[in-house]
Chain A
Amino acid sequence: MSVKRKNKIDNGIAETEEALFMGNHAVVQGLLEAGVGFTAAYPGTPSTEIQVRLAKLHEKGQLYFEYSVNEKVAFEISAAAALSGVRSAVIMKHVGVNVASDAMMALAYFGVQGGMIIVAVDDPGCQSSQNEQDSRFWGKFAHIPVFEPSTPQEIRDVIPKIYELSEKYNMLCMLRMTNFTSLSTGIVKHKPIEENLSWNGEFVREIKYQIPARYLLHKGLHKSLKALAKDPLFEEFISLKESSSSSERLIITHGAIYPIVEYMAELYNFNGDILKIGAIFPLNEEKIAEIVKKYKYIYFVEELEPYLETEILAIIGRNKLNVTVFGKEKLQIPYENSLRPDALKEAFSRIVADPNDDSVFYEIPDPSPLPKIFDSEELLIPRTLPRLCDGCSHRGAFYSIKKATGEDFIIPSDIGCYALGQVQPVDVGDYWLCMGGGLGTALGMSKVNGKKVIAIIGDGTFFHAGMPALLDAVEYNHNITLAILDNSLTAMTGGQPSPSSTTWKRKNFNPINLEEVVKGLGVKWIKSVQAINVKENVKIVKEALEYQGPSVIIFKGECVVNKLRNMKTPVKPLSIDQDLCTQCGNCLIDFACPSIVKEDGKIVIKQDTCTGCGYCAMVCPVKAIK
């Protein structure tokens, strides 16, 4: 079938300008240069900057973009565009792919007409995530080609090529990024695109979408993957950096950490070659075997899982190659966390050592199986971990919930800024699992533990994955209370709109009424309160907890970061009247805004960080905070 497309495509050949781009912005540039008119996303750090920029381009009318309600919907909307011959892209963080995967695994069988990329941004080190899963595995699992560029320039350059391959082989492709490639900035040669991109397409019915014997599509898919692996354009993604002298040693690594590996190789005077795999799946077996067989010693350097190690070991086996392999274990490369240069020091001292000296490759015992809270044994320097902002409205809801529940309640929390309510001194919430997992598990917790359970969720997470669990609560009359902390925003990911945001102006958009949705799901006991009324809300929480069956309280209070962003007048910080203050510590310890500190024995408010929100004044029993 011929693809109808009105957008001009340059395949990234013409470059007219140089500018600093972070990896995420280079993605957008690549999409524009590839003529991609249709995009959708669900918020998630570290993919945020891609989405923010696309949202701006949409407001300007340059292309279509939407923040969908969750990753699955974002994926499906983009899939429809690709099935109708329109180039599309869907953007999410790594765990978002889990949500989208049901649709993704099936779309791989259909194939696409217009090129389609799913951009998945991994977060090694869990800087802003619930886990650090390695998205490279999706390629093999879902049968989709996976590309992994190294630098902003490369990101911008490869995207048009990926679309070309996606259309040539009718395959959905994945662009796998990490927090390193997403958040690294470099100089990028590019061609600015000003014209508006079309997203009009035409769906043509095909028998393959309808037949029940889907295994036939599975068969075709493997055939296409084999052909793709040998395509000269695809082969470009495997590149060998040769040292000047002929060497017996080869490091095999992948795009996302290639710049770091190259740097370390130089730092350690590594006298050998480096094979960079910029397309993780499918691997071209012949080409890799051809390269590997020229060496005596092979070293695998990979972030997170030993994916290439496992795959290439199989290639080595099938081709009966006579090489000695050093992988994760022998090089003592951690499975966890991002591989920054310091984390690779041990590995490189082993890579440059005598490969035949067994004493080099001993196993280092893990000193402590427990999480390390302190960074150093000499002087204790605690890490500065994230906390709720000064003036965050969630703190008001937590204060009321804490006073109403005491010690007896199981409090599942969820994913969003409010997950930080679990740490001291706020200390409300027992765990956070995955988006919507707090409410889902609350149902079982209440059943098995035989008591009322109060779950915490944000407006964003409620719409994303909380609604089905609430429906279940109504259907089976589970004895839970759900506190929805509605700050009118998806805040944790940098402040994107949530479906109910009214503080966010968007084109062609109808804000969703949260109360009506909760009612519509069949909940009989609902109260909507202002989070700042901390004392009255204690009573309301108690009522909700006494109710047998599902009850919902909606705490309203705008995210202070968003509020400050839109404020026209300067902030007026509050202060504590020292003549009235009795040093009771209610504001300092129970409420715990970071702007409230103890200095020279007195409780004071830091004037340079206080946002003037007024919440702390509501908890002071003697009205000393003004």
Chain B
Amino acid sequence: MKKNKETLNIAFLGLGGQGIITLAKMIAESALDTGKKVCYNEIHGLSQRGGSVQSFLRLNEESSPLFASSDVDLVIGLEKMETLRYLYGIKGHKPKVILLDYFEIRNTNYFGLEVFPEEEEIDKEIRERAEELYIFDSENFKKQFKGNFIPYNVGIFSALTTFEELGITEETGEKIVKKLLGKNILLSQVNKKAFKEGKKWIKKI
């Protein structure tokens, strides 16, 4: 199976309300800013909070934002169970994984049939399925903020500037955060801080 060498296929996985689409958008805006081709797609259900959200982005491509799971280069997971579900679907290929270490405890049981796996079990499975695993330390990142609005997505975006393959410089990143999230004065301060802090809390496992 041939593939354009320049292309980078990224999958984003998480839950409604985590700002996944904004994260994809920040990366796309950075690409546009540096003159690269880019496209992305969002897959989500309704407007309620808490459902599955996925986004797929391709750098240096402009036609189909969707790609086969066996063709994914980078998986960015903002919730463990959502991330593992995607990794499960990949056959015969291990991607690089960047994971926010967050696990949502679910108390809604759709038809009373689901059994939710334990967090440790999920951790183990993710580790086995990643070629390289990077963890974003949510607990320590969170401590930098007062109140209950924690912009994990901006934190991760900041961490992504340390990954060369994405080609996002700090200056570009900062500019994009300001462009996309700078309108609300109160939140723009929090987001600015998140962008400054984020890169400190990522580490390779």
Contacts and interface: CB of A to CB of B under 8 A. Distances in A.
Interface of A: 18-20, 22, 45, 127-128, 150-151, 179-180, 183-187, 259-260, 262-264, 266-269, 340-342, 345, 373-376, 378-390, 392, 417, 420, 423-425, 491-495, 561, 570-571, 573, 588, 592, 594, 596-599, 606-609
Interface in B1-45: 1-3, 15-16, 25, 28-29, 32, 37-45
A263 B64 contact: yes
Contacts of B109: 424-425
Which of B62, B65, B66, B85 is packed against the most chain A CB atoms within 10 Å? B66
Contact of B108 (A185, A375, A387, A598): A387
B97 to A, nearest CB: 16
A341 B114 contact: no
Chain B: interface secondary structure? loop
Nearest to A392: B48
Interface in B112-155: 112-117, 121, 125, 147-148, 150
Contact of B62 (A187, A599, A607, A608): A187
B39 A184 contact: yes
Interface string B72-95: 000000000110110011000000
A381 B117 contact: yes
A291 B90 CA distance: 38
A128 B46 contact: yes
A184 B41 contact: yes
A392 B47 CA distance: 12
B71 A267 contact: yes
B71 to A, nearest CB: 7
A495 B48 CA distance: 10
B107 A180 contact: no
B204 interface: no
Contact of B51 (A340, A387, A571, A596): A387
Contact of A387 (B39, B48, B148): B48
A424 B112 contact: yes
Given A379-B117, A494-B47, A263 B148 contact: no
Given A18-B32, A128-B45, A341-B66, A185 B25 contact: yes
Contacts, number: 186
Contacts of B105: 597, 599, 606
A384 B106 contact: yes
B163 interface: no
A417 B45 CA distance: 12
Interface string B144-171: 0001101000000000000000000000
B68 interface: yes
Per CB-CB distance, the 4 closest pairs between chain A and chain B, nearest first, are A259-B64, A382-B114, A386-B51, A341-B68
Contact of B29 (A20, A491, A592): A20
A263 B147 contact: no
Nearest to B16: A386
Given A20-B32, A386-B45, A596 B52 contact: no
B49 interface: yes
B81 A388 contact: no
A127 B64 contact: no
A607 B51 contact: no
A345 B66 CA distance: 13
A390 B39 contact: no
Given A381-B85, A425-B112, A607-B148, 14 more contacts: A180-B66, A184-B39, A187-B37, A260-B64, A268-B1, A373-B110, A380-B117, A387-B48, A492-B48, A495-B47, A561-B49, A594-B50, A594-B107, A606-B105
